[in-house]
């Protein structure tokens, strides 16, 4: 029953998203302005047949605008449940592909690996267990696994995409839906109890960036990290306005930047004393290659974080 509901909601969201793509708001605005100008000109020359045609055109535009707004509101309501955003046809269905294409273009992963080694002393070849709880399709992790054969890479996500990378050799993709808050449970199911690195790039930390939610996800990660364990997150500087501009430019085929703020800029204002009692925070790299390391602190039992 729940599966049927999922399919129907997903299908409805697909339809609404198609309507949104076809009838973009700015098309209606542009057409409305053009027809209004024509109508104004027609009145000045007393061509009332042309005026009537323009009024009919405006009525059609108004009707299409209503359809667009209804589809937009329905899709927005459905996508309050994040899984529908990333499901086929959702507003973020191709998000990962676009970001991966852009990062490949700027050689992001290679630069980040180099920065970690030179700027923090982190050698990926010395990592034993590397977990990506919000790995989406797992392409970065798969590339890393081919470079660092002695490291075990474990990837999963809250909503598993259809075309994720398949498990091979030292790369394991857990293909059932896994909530990052349940990381301890799903790792223990495959015999993993100690994690050296958690890689969370615009994932669970990004989505749980406020107040108690942020504390909770970082506490969850803290409990599975080894004594010297670390969390790696993206940290480039970005603004909401810049993200909106990048989204707009993407509509014209220009892949010029990220369509959202980084994980660190998302959480920065909410890093409190509780979080700082769990982690030391270090910046590595700069510009688009900026990353942050959250290094686990050893907390004495009498001061154990609750």
Assigned token pair, 217: 């996800």
Confidence (pLDDT) at 18: 76
Q: Which of 180-189, 245-254, 256-265 has the highest mean pLDDT?
A: 180-189
pLDDT value for 31: 67
CB of 61 closer than 8 Å to CB of 32: yes
Determine contact, residues 156/223, Cβ cutoff 8 Å. no
Q: What is the pLDDT confidence band of residue 76, given thresholds at 50, 70 and 90? A: confident
Which pLDDT band, with edges at 50, 70 and 90, does 87 fall under? low
Q: Distance between CA atoms of 97 and 264, rounded to whole angstroms?
A: 22
The answer on pLDDT for 216 being more than 90 is yes
* Domain positions in the chain: 2-86, 95-303
Is-contact 142 199, C-beta < 8 A? no
- For the residues 16-21, what does the mean pLDDT come to? 74
Question: What's this model's pTM, rounded to 2 decimal places?
Answer: 0.75
Q: Which residue, among 112, 157, 111, 151, has the nearest Cα to 138 in the 3D structure?
A: 157
251 pLDDT more than 80:
no
Q: Report residue 129 as tokens.
A: 């267990």
Span 125-140, average pLDDT: 96
Query: If one looks up domain 95-303 in CATH, what number appears?
Result: 3.40.50.150
Is the confidence at residue 43, as pLDDT, over 70?
Answer: no
pLDDT above 90: residue 110: yes
Give the DSSP letter string of 216-247: HHHHHHHHHEEEEEEEEEE-----HHHHHHHH
């Amino acid at each position: 029953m729940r599966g049927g509901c999922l399919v129907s909601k997903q299908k409805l969201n697909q339809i609404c998203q198609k309507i949104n793509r076809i009838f973009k708001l700015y098309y209606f605005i542009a057409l409305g302005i053009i027809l209004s100008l024509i109508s104004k000109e027609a009145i000045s020359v007393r061509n009332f047949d042309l005026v009537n045609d323009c009024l009919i055109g405006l009525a059609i535009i108004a009707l299409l605008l209503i359809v667009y707004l209804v589809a937009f509101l329905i899709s927005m309501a459905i996508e309050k449940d994040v899984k529908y955003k990333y499901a086929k046809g959702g507003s973020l269905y191709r998000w990962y592909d676009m970001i991966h294409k852009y990062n490949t273009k700027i050689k992001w992963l290679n630069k980040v690996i180099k920065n970690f080694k030179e700027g923090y002393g982190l050698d990926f070849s010395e990592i034993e267990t590397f977990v990506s709880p919000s790995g989406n399709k797992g392409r970065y992790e798969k590339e890393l696994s081919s470079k660092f054969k002695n490291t075990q890479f474990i990837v999963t996500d809250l909503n598993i995409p259809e075309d994720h990378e398949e498990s091979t050799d030292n790369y394991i993709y857990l293909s059932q839906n896994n909530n990052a808050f349940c990381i301890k449970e799903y790792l223990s199911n495959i015999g993993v109890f100690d994690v050296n690195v958690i890689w969370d790039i615009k994932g669970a930390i990004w989505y749980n960036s406020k107040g108690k939610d942020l504390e909770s996800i970082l506490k969850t990660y803290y409990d599975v990290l080894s004594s010297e364990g670390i969390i790696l997150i993206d940290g480039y500087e970005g603004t909401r306005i810049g993200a909106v501009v990048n989204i707009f430019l993407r509509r014209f085929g220009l892949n010029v930047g990220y369509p959202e703020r980084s994980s660190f800029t998302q959480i920065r204002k909410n890093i409190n004393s509780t979080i700082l009692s769990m982690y030391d925070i270090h910046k590595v790299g700069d510009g688009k290659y900026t990353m942050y390391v959250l290094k686990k602190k050893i907390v004495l039992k009498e001061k154990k974080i609750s």
